[in-house]
A and B are shown apart, each in its own frame.
Chain A
Amino acid sequence: MTPDPIPVRSVSTLECRNCGAGAPIDEHFCRSCSRILALGRHGDYFSFLGVPRRLNLDMQELERHFRELSRKFHPDYYYNASPTERLASLERSSYLNDAYRTLRNPAARIEHLLAIEGLPPARSDESTGPGQGAAKVPPSLLEEVFALNEELDEVRELRESGADPSALRARLDAARVPIDARRDDHERQLRELSGQWDALPADAAPAAKRAILDALRERLLERNYINNLLATIEREMAGSGLSPLGSGPLGHAPEA
C-alpha cells in the first residue's frame, strides 16, 4: 500500500552508520565503505527503483531493477552482518517490495506520483481513513449512483419476498452495464492523461504539470468510486446483502 501522505525528501543526505560518511539519499550503499545504508525518510519509489518518473513504465525494466536490487538488499545475504546492517537490509528490502508492488500496478503508480508531486491522496475523502472508498459521491457520477441505489433497493426487496434468483441476477447484470461503460471511459482518459504526463518536457511550467496531475487525481477519484459501485453489485450478486457505500473505518487519527 502507498503510505500517505509521504514526506518527500525531508533530508537530502544520509549518514553511513558504519563509517559516518555522508551519502546522497538515492544511494543504497555507502560510497566510502560500501556497506548497506540505513533507510532514510525516502519518499520516491521511482528514484529508489532507478526508473524514470513516468506513468508508462517499461515493465521488464522495472522487474529487472527489482530483481537486481533484491539481490543486493535481501536479508539472506546479511545473515552474518552487524545488527545495523541487518536492520538496514530488512528495511531496504521491505521498502523495495512496497515500491515494486506500487509501481507495478497502474492505479497505485498514479496515486504514488500524485503523492510525491504533493497532491492530496486520491483514494479517500478527508474524513475517512486510509485504504477505503470515498464517502462523497463525485458530482459527475450522481446520476448513475442514484439509479443504481434505487435498483439495488428493489433487488433486495424482491430477494426478501423470495423472487427468482436468476431474474435478480439478470437485473444486476443490466445495472452493471452503464457503470462498466463509465469505467472503460475512465480507463481511457487515465491512459491519455498518463501519456500527456510522460510527454511533458523536463522544463515544463509548474502550472502545466499541475493541470495534468489535477485531472489525473479527479479521474482516479471517480474511478475508485466506480470500482466501489461494481464491488457493491458483486456483493449483491453473492447475496451477502451488505452495502458498503459510505462506510469506512472509524477511530483513526485524521491524516494530517
Chain B
Amino acid sequence: MSKVVGIDLGTTNSLVAYVQNGAPVVIRDGSGDGLVPSVVSIGDDGTIFVGREAQRRLLTTSSRTVYSVKRFMGRGIDDVRDEASLLPFRVGGEAGGVVRIGVADREFTPPEISAFVLRELKHRAEEHFREQGEFDFEVDRAVITVPAYFNDAQRTATRDAGRLAGLEVLRIINEPTAASLAYGLDQKNRGTIAVYDLGGGTFDISILKVEDGVFQVLSTNGDTHLGGDDFDQLLMRLVLRELELAGSGGASAEMVQAIRKAVIQAKWDLSDQDDTDIVVEPSAVLPQGYRRRITRDEFEALIRPLIDRTLAPVRQALADAALLPKDIDEVVLVGGSTRIPLVRRMVEELFGRTPHSDLNPDEVVALGAAVQADILISGRREMLLLDVTPLSLGIETMGGVVSKIILRNSTIPASGREMFTSGVDSQTAVDIHVLQGERELAADCRSLARFRLRGIPPMPAGLPRIEVRFQIDANGILAVSATELRTGIEQAIEVKPSYGLTDEEVERMLIESFEHAEADFDARLLIEARNEAESVVHATEKSLRRPDLHRVAEEELQPGELQRIDEALADLKAAIAAPIAH
C-alpha cells in the first residue's frame, strides 16, 4: 500500500510527517533537520534546486532563486506589487490575473514553484520509507495545510500545487486546527483553546472547543500578509538605510540577500539574548562588510506595530465565538515567529495566561496534518476536526452590493442557495459574480469567479426561477451548481476563476513538469553533505556566540583549541561555498 503523509507547506520552511505506530513523526534528513526551506532555485542548465541548496544559491545566484512564494498563491499582481521591491525574482502577470514569477528567461505560476517544494518533500518521504525497507515506498497522497484565513483562491492554488507535484491532495486543512490536533493527542481533556499562529508570512487565530474528541472550531481570523518576513524586511530596510542604499537601487540582489541572511540570524539571536550584532561578512557583494549592534528593545520597538496588528483579529475571533479572553482554557503558540519574546508577552497579556509551547512550533502543524491523513485513510474515529470557513461567501447583486450566502465562521461542509431570475424576456443566460469577504460592496471583496448560467428556457422576464447552490466542502473549497426550478433543468456553469488556474492550465503544467530536470543522484549526495556541513557550521557559530564563551574556553578547552575551531570552521565554510560543478 502506498504511503500517505501530512505536509506543512510554509512560507519559509516546509515539513513532511507521517503516523508511525499510532504517533506522528516528522521525516528528517541525514543531519536530523526536518525543515526544508521553501526556496526554489533554477540552475543555468535548468536543474531545479529546492531547500537548503536553493537557500545557499540565494546568496550567489539571487535572480534565479525564489522564496516566500506562498505569499503569492492565489493572488493577483495588484495585490502584491508593493512587496515585490526587495525580492530578487521578477513578480509580474496581467492585471486581474494570476501572479507570474520570472526566473531568468522562464515564467512560473506560484503553484508551480510550490509544486517543486512539494516534490522535494515527496522525495524526502519516499527515501525515508525506502530506507525503512518498505516494499511500496511511493508517496502519492497527502494532507496539506494552509493558513486558516486563506481564501478560496489560495486554497485552490495549494491544491493545484499538490496535483502538479504528483500528489493526490486528500484534504486541505487549516494550520492552527492541525496544530490543535497534534496537541490534542496526549491531552484527552476538554476545553476552549485559542491557537495563535504567527509564521513566516501569515497570521492566524483560531478558537476551538474540544469535547469528546471533537475539535470544533468556533471562529477564526487572521492576516494572510503578516509574519516573520515582515520583521526581516524592517531590519533589512534599517541596514540598507544605514548603508545609504535604500530606494537608490544601489544594492545588488546578492547584497540584499546577504543582508537578509544577517538580519534573520540577528532576529533569531534576539529571542535568546538581550543584544546581538547584525553581521554581513565582507565579500565581493559588500567589500566593506557591515556590523551593527542591535538590542532586543530596539528590535521590539521596530516590530511592535506589526505585532499590534495581530490583536484586532484575535479580538474579532473572540467576539465571533461570543467569548471573553478569560473564557479561554489554553493558549497554544504555533509558527516560528512565536519564539519572539515580545509576541509571547503580548499573547500572555491578552489572554491573562501563559501560552503553551510544549511542542516545537515549527513542527506541530506537520504533525497534525499527519494525524489528519491517518484519520482519512484508516477511518479511525476517536478524533474529528470540524473547521469553519474563514470568510463570508456571496454574490454581487445590482448596484455592486454583495448578498452573503454563507457567513464567515460557518462550520464546513456548508451549503447555501440563492434564487435568480432573468431581467429581460427570453433571456437564456445569467452572469453571476462570486465574492468572498466581509465588506458590503463587491469592489471591496475578493473576486473568486465569474459564472455564466446557460440554457435557461426562454420565458418572460422574471419568470425563470434559477436556484444556485453553493457547496463548501471539507477543504473549504467552493463548488457551484444550479437548477431552473420550473423546468427542473440543470444549468451548465462555466467557471472562470479570477485568480486561479483553469483545469486545462493545470493539465498543461502537469505535462510540462515532467520536462523539468531535477538534481541527479551525485548532485543530491553533494547537496546532502553540504546541508550537513551547514548544520555543523550553524551549531558551532551559535556556540561561539555565547556570552560566556571566554570563560568556557578557559575552563574546558585546550590551549589553542579555540583557534583550531575557527580555522576548521573557515575551511568548512569555504568548502560549502564552492559551486557545484555541472
Contact = CB atoms under 8 A, between A and B. Distances in A.
B474 A74 contact: yes
A131 to B, nearest CB: 6
A131 B384 contact: no
A204 B55 CA distance: 76
A131 B411 CA distance: 19
Interface stretch (A15-23, A93-101, A112-120, A168-176): A93-101
A60 to B, nearest CB: 10
Nearest to A87: B471
B403 A94 contact: no
A93 B413 CA distance: 6
A3 interface: yes
A70 B415 contact: no
Contacts of B464: 253
A255 B419 CA distance: 8
B414 A98 contact: yes
Contact of A94 (B398, B399, B414): B414
B407 A76 contact: no
A234 to B, nearest CB: 14
B417 interface: yes
A79 B170 contact: yes
Interface stretch (B122-130, B331-339, B372-380): B372-380
A95 to B, nearest CB: 7
B519 interface: no
Contacts of B473: 75, 90
Interface string A45-59: 000000000000000
A250 interface: yes
Given A77-B379, A98-B414, A249-B401, A90 B214 contact: no
Contacts of B412: 97
Interface string A86-126: 00001101110110110000000000000000000000000
Nearest to A132: B403
B376 A79 contact: yes
Contact of B399 (A71, A79, A80, A250): A250
Given A77-B379, A77-B381, A90-B473, A253 B410 contact: no
Interface string B437-478: 000000000000000000000000010111000011110000
Contacts of A249: 397-398, 401, 403
B413 A97 contact: yes
A122 B122 CA distance: 54
B214 A70 contact: yes
Contacts of B466: 253
A97 B462 contact: no
Contacts of A74: 384, 386, 474
B80 to A, nearest CB: 28
Contacts, number: 92
Contact of B413 (A67, A79, A90, A255): A90
B451 to A, nearest CB: 15
A255 B384 CA distance: 38
B271 to A, nearest CB: 37
A79 B377 contact: yes
B397 A250 contact: yes
A16 to B, nearest CB: 21
Interface in B419-449: 419-421, 423
B416 interface: yes
Residue of A95, A251, A254 most packed against chain B (CB within 10 A)? A251
Nearest to A95: B415
Nearest to B382: A71
Interface in B277-328: none
Interface residues of A, number: 32
Contact of B398 (A63, A90, A97, A250): A250
A252 B418 contact: yes
Contacts of B399: 250
Interface in A236-256: 249-256
B329 interface: no
Interface in A139-170: none
A40 interface: no
B71 interface: no
A69 to B, nearest CB: 11
Contacts of B407: 1
A254 B488 CA distance: 18
A226 B401 CA distance: 23
B52 interface: no
A138 interface: no
**Most chain B CB atoms below 10 A, which of A80, A93, A249, A250:** A249
A91 B415 contact: yes
Given A71-B384, A76-B384, A252 B415 contact: no
B339 to A, nearest CB: 32
B379 A129 contact: no
Interface in B197-247: 211-212, 214, 216
B462 to A, nearest CB: 7
Nearest to A1: B416
Given A67-B211, A74-B384, A97-B414, A253 B379 contact: no
A75 to B, nearest CB: 5
B404 interface: yes
A3 B470 CA distance: 13
A77 B374 CA distance: 11
B40 interface: no
Nearest to A93: B413
Contacts of A90: 413, 471, 473-474
Contact of A70 (B376, B384, B397, B472): B384
A129 B465 CA distance: 14
Interface string B166-197: 00001100000000000000000000000000
A50 B274 CA distance: 59
A67 B419 CA distance: 31
B411 A76 contact: no
7 contacts: A75-B473, A76-B474, A93-B474, A97-B411, A97-B413, A252-B418, A253-B464
Given A90-B471, A253-B421, 10 more contacts: A70-B214, A71-B214, A76-B385, A77-B381, A91-B415, A94-B413, A97-B410, A97-B413, A250-B399, A253-B466
Enumerate the 5 nearest inter-chain pairs by beta-carbon distance, A residue then B residue, closest first: A253-B421, A250-B398, A251-B398, A94-B415, A97-B411
